[in-house]
Chains A and B, each alone.
Chain A
Amino acid sequence: MVENTGKPLDRVDGRLKVTGAARYSAEWDVPNLAHAAVVSSTVARGSVRALDTAAARAAPGVLAVLSHENAPRLQPLPEKVGGTLFRGEGGMTETRQPLQDTAVHYAGQPLAVVVADTLERARHAASLVRVTYAEQPPELTLKSVSQRSLPETFVGNKDEKLQVTVGDPKAALAAAPVRLERVYESAITHHNPIEPLATIARWEQRNGGEFLTLYDTSRGVENLQEVMATSLGLPKESVQVICPFIGGAFGAKGWLFAPPLLTAMAARLAGRPVKLEWRRQDMFSVAGQRAATHQTLSLGASRDGKLLALQHDTQTHASIMSGYTEPCARVSRMLYAVPNLGFSHQLAHLHLPSPCPMRGPGETVGGWALECAMDELAAELSLDPVELRLRNYADKNPETGKPWSSKHLRECYERGKALIGWDQRNPKPRAMREGNQLVGYGMATTMYPAARRPAEARATLFADGRALVQSATHELGNGAYTIFRQISADGLALPLERVRFELGDSALPAAPTSGGSATTATIGPAALEACRNVLTALKRLAIQQAQSPLHGAAEDAIEARDGRLVLKADASRGEDYAAILRRAKLPLVAATASVKPGEEREQYSFYSFGAVFVKVRVDEASGSIRLARLCAVYDVGRLMNPKTAHSQIIGGVMMGLGATLMEETQYDARTGRAVVRNLADYHVPSLADTPDITVEWLGIPDPHISELGARGIGEIGCVGTPAAITNAVYHATGQRLRSLPLTPDKLLRG
């Protein structure tokens, strides 16, 4: 049954991707398609006093101009979708529906959509729209904001409280022999997938009612279907969202819904299918972002390095119309055995675009702060940083007291040390050089929660011997087509070539938004169960067929092997799937499955772990930092496909590198307009920034997460990397930099 799963197979969609044949959202050839361009607010706060669209409407090729003046009325967003709180403090998304009133809450907010017969004409006409505003001074800084709150939970999850005290951290800190309090700050960053947001919306009459088809860059087709139906006042069945390929998401493309809503409204107004492709510049206003953070870490320890207290207080921000809170204590709450633990999250509402999750939400920057503070504590205590972590190794979850489902972090530290040559370094800061550059080594622990969610799948066997397995999950570079085909092929005991896996369509069996590194653990078991169910159906069919060699056999005496149903006791007695279907004169047999995690979730604490070690070169004269080498070892359960998994992990590592060294979005402190709004000024790592990377995993299956033993791997690479680099810069230079990103100016400023 494990012919394919766990093997490093080439991506099954590789050929489509290397030939340019994979179809992304803006690339559907929809007849009579019109093009849209957006007019965005140039002010951050106030309201639209007048919108002069006369010139735009008169421009050649223009079909419609959508604005608050003529936009269809939208219903409010659902309160909760799929268990995720949408609205209110701690909620996931922007609650305000687009173009329903004149209010302006951030610069770059869409105010009108111009539809024309060509893209050029739409863009030109959009440039002719004149907006006058009643402006108010925007609030743009954490320090002086008037609207603040202390959200109770992260997106309504009762298991993820944002304000927590275990024991008495305040008293324990005061009494601790060694105390350290540090402030860490991180900048606003953007996902910037290379594929920008795009939607094609088409309205049709179907069965006497309106039907909306959306081709949208969505990693939550089911969610989006529900949001669109609710907003537009349609039955859910009247909306279909299709997205077979996503050009990267990293946390974007899931939780902010204005882009598809605007496109659907524009298409309705224009009476034609409409495509709205957002410009890269717009990605800095409508696509979500990781908010900036200001984190205070307080550690209390004994002289021999035992943590006595940990307090992690975060100030961060959302927009005026979002309650999304970057959950910075996600690592602090569980990583070390500490008896007195406290954390808090204060949310400020600014006139900036809405935030949303970004790879390792909370973990990436919150874990950075914690793991930098641990490095500072190690230096304070003259302890090896790895040793300090071992002295505080948590054998159970310190917040909940639950045992881990599976944890082998010690092995990760050991192996990582060996890979980088940790013990060969001179541990003294500023002691190592190569040419005119300082050299430093650093490490950090990494982790990621191993979520699993409910999901459905359907498996179909065809009379021609082929099979199809389907679930409304997503291919965003995670290898979904590949690994679920591997799992399905094994579940059906068929060779890979005879099995297809379909995803990215809200008409398929329900699957959650792809995120939180939960897709493998969520969809894998659903696919397997659907395979089992269809084989059961086929067994029953065979048992009933008088001519079948399996006629009359007990169901549990039959097993699937090499595309055949055979008797367990005598594999020579049996026949292939197609023969059974042909005899029954059936073109196919199908079965669905609906699976969800069970009681194990109450019994265990599910996390992946890892250790990241890096070597940096620092050119102190210019402030330039380069990564020479990164060696990381992960305990992530069993891998479904080591080849695609390796890519996903190194991709996470590089995004962590970007956040550490170069990524930063700036908004003008007076006007709130983005001043970093393109890929020349927003530096994502280039190939030249790629270190030599060695990534390993322990490969120990998680016995409790699912029968596959696989935890997620999408985000863990991003976590840990920032602290390892920052700590290495300290080792190289003796400078503690506590503000991300570590751009040259900060090193020069000292």
Chain B
Amino acid sequence: MAKGKKFSPVPTPETQHYWDGAKRGELLIQQCDDCSTHYFPPRPFCPNCGSRNVKVKKASGKATLYSYVISHMLRPGQEDPFAIAVVELEEGPRMMTNIVDCPQTPEALLLDMPLEVTFEEWDETITLPKFKPAGGATS
């Protein structure tokens, strides 16, 4: 990554559906047809039982705040500290994300607070799922 250039993820054959979904405004996770486990990140087999009988499904987009830090390690173009968070989806899997529409402070970012997915266009190929407080911004 060149200095100052925005980092952009590059999908692989196993993850392309996820990024295509995000571009459409859908958060896609996967579920095993044999053991029913929901999982993330994407792969064409179940990490719980090894079965290849898996399907892609749209997540509800509801989540809770599992843990985070407020990073003061800023990239070019960033001016203020921001939270790097891990959220727990309603279906069970966890994912890293940012929390938007919310002050980036310990007072506003409370563990287990309800969140909902939102999407941010990153560049012409990538749209990133992010999360915001459920039911609108908090004070």
Partners in one complex: no
